[in-house]
Structure 1
Amino acid sequence: MNKPKIRITLVEKKGTMGCHRGHKVGDSYDFDTERGNLCPMAMHVAFPYIDILRYGGKLPSQPDGVIKFSCPDVDVLNIFKIEIEE
């Protein structure tokens, strides 16, 4: 089974503080080749969702296959989306 390509993109910022890694809205990362550039805290949150998408699953609340998640730091609160690249 070929695993689909996954893209992680910062789509919104809700917190009052700047990102500790310097991420800005619009930054985008290929999971396979650039995941080391993503903040480790954000990657920790993203990984279970990436696993769901990579192995054919979908979240009932997000049936289009695009999953959004937030940075775990409430002062930063960056919102990312994970999607399969066609």
Structure 2
Amino acid sequence: MPERPRITITLVDRKGPRGCHRGHRVGDSFDFDTERGKLCPMAMHVAFPYVDILRYGGSMPGTDDPNVCLFCCPDADVINVFRIERHAG
């Protein structure tokens, strides 16, 4: 059985008028398997379905790279933009 792919979540942009309440900054990166507890729970809640899709072989419609997707933090005052990447296991 092939190894499960590794997943990283990286903060790539911020659109909202306020800084992150959790202290995340553009460039912060998290390994989903070993560091997900460090990621803001609100962002993690949004990320989880995308992580599942990528981890188990799917991809997001309309993306140029099937190993990458973007999502936003649900806090309208912050609106952090994260990139999820699938890496070979």
Same topology, TM > 0.5:
yes
Structure 2 residue 70 is matched with structure 1 residue 68: yes
Which stretch of the first structure deviates more once superposed, 36-45 or 63-72?
Answer: 63-72
Q: How does 1:37-56 map to 2 (within 5 A)?
A: 37-56=38-57
Root mean square deviation of aligned Cα: 1.0
| Structure 2: stretches of 5+ with no match in the other structure | none
- Please name the residue that 1:57 is paired with: 58
Moved over 3 A (4+): none
Shift of 1:63: 4.5
The whole-number CA distance in structure 1 between the counterparts of 2:69 and 2:14 is 16
- TM-score, normalised relative to structure 1: 0.95
User: What's the % identity of the aligned pairs?
Assistant: 67
- Please name the residue that 1:83 is paired with: 85
* One-letter amino acid matched to 1:53: L
Q: Cα gap change, 1:26/1:7 in structure 2, threshold over 3 Å: closer, same or farther? A: same
Shift of 1:69: 0.2
Shift of 1:76: 0.2
The whole-number CA distance in structure 2 between the counterparts of 1:67 and 1:28 is 14
